[in-house]
Amino acid sequence: MKKCTRCLNDGTVRRMKLDENGVCGYCKSYERIESQLSDREHLQKLFCERIERVRGKYTYDAALGISGGKDSVFVLHELVRRYGLKVKTFTMLNGFFSEDARKNVDRLVQEFGVEHEYIEFDPALLRRFFRYSMQHWLTPCVACSYLGYAAMINYTTRINAGLCIHGRSPQQMLRYYGDDVFTPLVDAGLKPVDEVDVNALYAQLLASIEERMDSTLLQDVKGMLYQGIAEGDFREFVPYFLYHPYDEQSIVRFLRENTGWVTDEKYDHYDCLVHNAAHYIYQCAEGRPHCLPEVSVLVRSGKLTREEGMRLVQAAHYAEKPQEELKFLCDTVGLKAAPILLKAGIYKRFVKK
């Protein structure tokens, strides 16, 4: 199997190409922005440009989606306590949101004194959308991602917030940098704010996702998401950790010592009731843990050695099927697990990555 000589990406990673030195295209794309990502002074300037441009000019300075997970809670702390922004938070109820996460959300919005709203969707339409995502992409995550991004972008306009800020980690943002629909978001974020055409950028982003969807379902989903939104009135979607250092263990330790955030040791994605089921299906289809491209970001950026990265990937391997989560996921979307896993096995064997 072909393997990148710089990161951990191998032939299981979609559309991976190697150059004459055995370096993958994702590493080559990363090289274009590597110096910018290491210039902390310039990144801080870019972030401050964005928040000072909107501060005090809208009903809220920023909207922030929070799941109760470590990253979004830490970003909430920083926006309120470090930068002094007026923030409104919101949480999407997609049918898979855990009760433990909800308790954290309820506790923390009171602690930080911010307004908060739970966003609900039509249950029947959610079921259709997640079933479509499972049938066509073997994962509920595509539907969830579209709901999340579209809801965040449009919710920000609806409540009249100057920015929408999110807490995706660098490895999530950069895992397929150079070859996914979110690459333009990273590129835009690295430009001075005056050089970004927000309306064109997000129209392009949403169109790139929507062209892959069933047209009838798409119209129903857009009708659910875009009510009351003025066309061409997008606000910038700002990735907090594009501009700030990210260290997972430091974030977890800080939250436990300084906030009311409460979780056990299994804090990663504890907010999603079907996380393990979705990633198990992914592993069956791709022949590897879902995290390999993300760990590759840490390796190519020098945060981990190749050996440390491989240990993380190996530890993420599912040795056993998460039976209860898989049943809950399939029952919720109205599918049987066996055909989904069979399709995943066929994909792994016959579909070229």
Residue 352, pLDDT above cutoff 70: no
* Residues 76 and 87 sit within 8 Å (Cβ to Cβ): yes
Q: What is the mean pLDDT of residues 138-160?
A: 86
Percent of the chain, pLDDT > 70? 95
Output the pLDDT for position 180. Answer: 86
Q: What is the mean pLDDT of residues 23-40?
A: 97
- pLDDT tens digit string along 195-207? 999 888 877 776 7
For 115, phi then psi, to 5°, come to -70, 150
Distance CA 161, CA 57 (A): 9
Cβ pair 9, 296 in contact under 8 A: yes
Mean pLDDT, range 318-340, rounded to an integer: 96
pLDDT above 80 (res 221): no
Q: Which residues contact 179 (CB under 8 A, 6 or more apart)?
A: 15, 25, 26, 29
Query: Residue 115: how many CB atoms within 10 A of its CB?
Result: 12
Closest CA to 174 of 343, 353, 31: 31
Q: Mean pLDDT in the chain?
A: 92
Instruction: Tell me the CB-side half-sphere exposure of residue 23, using CA atoms within 13 A.
Output: 10
Q: What is the DSSP letter of 193?
A: G
- Nearest one of 230, 340, 185, 223 to 278, comparing CA atoms: 340
Which residue did the predictor score with more confidence, 250 or 230?
250
pLDDT at 264: 87
Q: What is the pLDDT of residue 161?
A: 97
Residue with tokens 């300075």: 61
Which domains does the chain possess?
40-243 (3.40.50), 272-350 (no CATH)
**Which residues are 263's β-sheet partners?**
none
* pLDDT value at residue 1: 77
What is residue 336's predicted lDDT score, i.e. its pLDDT? 96
